[in-house]
Amino acid sequence: MQAYLRMYGYLTDAMPDSNREPSRDDMTRAIKYFQRFTGLDITGELDTPTLAMMERPRCGCPDILMNKTNQPLPFRLGGKWSKTFLTWTVTPGGFSRKLSQSAQLRAIRDALKVWSDVTPLRFSEITGNQRADINIFFASGEHGRVLAHAFFPESGQVHFDEDELWVIRSNSGTDLFTVAAHEFGHALGLSHSEISGALMAPYYAGYDPNFQLHQDDVRGIQQLYGPRNVPQTRPTRPKTTLRPTRPRVRTTTPVPPRDFDISCGARLKGMVRDFTGDIWAFWRQFVIRMDDQNGVGSNRRQPISDVFPYFPRGRTPDAVFNITQSWKSVSYKIFYLIMIQLIVIKVCLSFSARRIYQYKYDNGNYILERPDGRMTSQWLGNYWDVPERPRAAFAVTGNEIYMFGSSQVWRYNAYTNQIIPGSHEYISTRFPGIPYSIDGAMMWDDRTVYFITGSYYYTYDLQQERVTRGPRQVGADFFKGPCSRQ
């Protein structure tokens, strides 16, 4: 069990061959992370359901990456290809002996089509000694219950275990199409999903004759490459020798112009009230200003970098919040944008740099605290201090700032620039009724917090410690205008 937890990223107490036993606390913590990731009851014990889950056939890539203190590392996307036209090949001698080559090629084409159907990606098979982007082969070896594994971009290596009983679109063995589609997800940049019904979940679920790509998979791959580009066909004018007639005009009520160009169901990356009381929503590379009475205003959308100087153009922050600090009897209004930058990709692993942009509010303008434009990073502390990639944040006071990852919440003190010791909790424990993987959090008044997840939101009462409303649509209640009439 220790080897299993180490192999898939849950335990990093020692190297596998060191003969060193992990501590009881390390094992309990690792088991709890495994149980949470796989949707089991979180007991911290190697109970029967946990052992049964570990026996299931699965992909060989890690589920999570741990740091030196056995906390999950943030940002597990595996990067992306720098192009959208990719070539592939089965390397010479790399076909399985269990199936005909034509059947294998057909399954591979179908598996790649799963991803090209929802992205601009296009795949082309090449043969011979030409160099391909994606290289596929079957090999025998000691794999245990590992069916296959792949490497993040731009490696392009995809390996299948030849010792498996490979079949085509059947449950009489291991279905090649299903496993290949999963591994190609890794080769394109996706890591494992915690959603059991997603294709990118780590465990093999068998062949589904009614297979459809899960929305979680679609969101993940489109986050990397965008949606599929559907060409617009220009209508052709029919040729005729008849004398043209004046078209009949239908009288309709004119529709007022819509000063609105964001989808009512848009997935936001955060919301916050600024120091004037307006609401700012962060969407893609834009910030959208609203008020609670009229919704989106006329100056509704601006690039984030136009409002917050030196913030990387075209990027979106992972979390936003603001606080008021006092220093020498002077009140400072400070706005924070947090962003994780990917800097290294290597073999199912990703590494990232944390950056926080700290702005001072001054007479309607936001001024970066370092005028030379350098990114401040010391506020986030040591690289290993943050257990998960920040997804949302809100501040009750300057010394009580809640930061949210995918499953955990922890608190910062802005005066000491440190995480508050012992403040790490599961989101479901500290904020019952709020789902995991929220996209934003907004402090509304001294007791009410808005939690945004996708295109919906919840309101939470900090004093009563309960959800008071939700889920409700963000568009209808905040954007208003055309969204409120849907």
Report the catalytic residues: 183
Nearest to 150 by CA among 108, 105, 117, 212: 108
Taking the C-alpha atoms of residue 379 and residue 415, their distance in angstroms, rounded to an integer, is 10
Residue type, 395: A
Element (H, E) at 354: strand 349-362
> What sections of 160-203 are H helices per DSSP?
176-188
**Look-up of token digits 């025998």:** 140
| Structure tokens given for 435 | 């789902």
| Structure tokens given for 40 | 């089991």
Taking the C-alpha atoms of residue 252 and residue 232, their distance in angstroms, rounded to an integer, is 27
> What sections of 249-383 are H helices per DSSP?
304-307
Taking the C-alpha atoms of residue 200 and residue 40, their distance in angstroms, rounded to an integer, is 18
Q: How far is residue 299 from each of residues 95, 259, 296, 302, 368, measured CA to CA in Å?
A: 59, 9, 8, 8, 22
CB–CB of 204/179 below 8 Å? yes
Residue type, 186: H
Nearest to 474 by CA among 461, 486, 464: 486
Helices 176-188 + 215-225 axis angle, to 10: 30
Taking the C-alpha atoms of residue 112 and residue 478, their distance in angstroms, rounded to an integer, is 39
At residue 411, φ and ψ (nearest 5 deg) are -120, 145
Element (H, E) at 7: helix 2-7
CB atoms within 10 A of CB 16: 11
